[in-house]
Structure 1
Amino acid sequence: MRKLVLPVLAIVLGGCSNFVADIGIPSVRFNPVSAGPTSSGYEIVFEIQPYLGSPSGMILQVNFSGAPPASIGASVPECLPPTAPGDCPKITRTLTFGSNPGPLAIIGYVAQSLNGTVRVVNLPGQVIINP
């Protein structure tokens, strides 16, 4: 019996350490701000806002539907109670293109926790930032 308990305990504890690594990944939402031509090209501005209870971390890349991903390197602060959900800090990012890229929707992102764990996060729905 004792020989069986130790391997089972090792597997269970190993699984817990993997779960803890995922807890440190920031959870964020994206909000479109503006899109249009400028003197430097076509700019799309959007905000990144952590959800209430999200830990701090990095958003390394934003994944789009039908377009190559964009590296953004945004540091996301934590958002802890008693902060109201809409009052979590917002980070603004600007993407510049040579011309209008057409419809552009965020479908996910690559996040990194403070302990270095990197995960791809798929959004439950697309966020259109350039109609």
Structure 2
Amino acid sequence: MALAFRLNCLVLKPRICSLFRQPYVNSSTTELKKGIKGTYIAKKIPAFKKLEANKRYSWCECGLSKKQPFCDGSHKGTEFKPIRLKFDQSKSVLLCQCKQTSNPPYCDMTHVSVMFSSLKDIFKK
């Protein structure tokens, strides 16, 4: 299945499949694109993570971190700060990576509209 998807992307529909390339970059530059919230769109799909009890996590809010969805300090010099997480019990969560969510750090499916806006950009060309 994965091979068929990859072959389909490489041969048949490279423009549409480029929507899922990570990170989300302009084709003419290597800079990350900014979303409607002013944050950078790190990836267009959420990250499913199992987070351990009593361990501290820092969710990247700016989208610049190389360790998505977690912060690596790349926000220094920007207005953004990481969101700190700590749970009493281990739990699995869906963390936003498009950084456009209305419920940070959790995914609220906003990445779907980010992908559709990307699709419009592809077909304008």
Alignment TM-score > 0.5, same fold? no
TM-score (ref. length: structure 2): 0.24
Higher strand share: 1
TM-score (norm 1): 0.23
Higher radius of gyration, 1 or 2: 1
Higher RCO, 1 or 2 (CA under 8 Å, sep at least 6)? Answer: 1
* Structure with the higher helix share, 1 or 2: 2
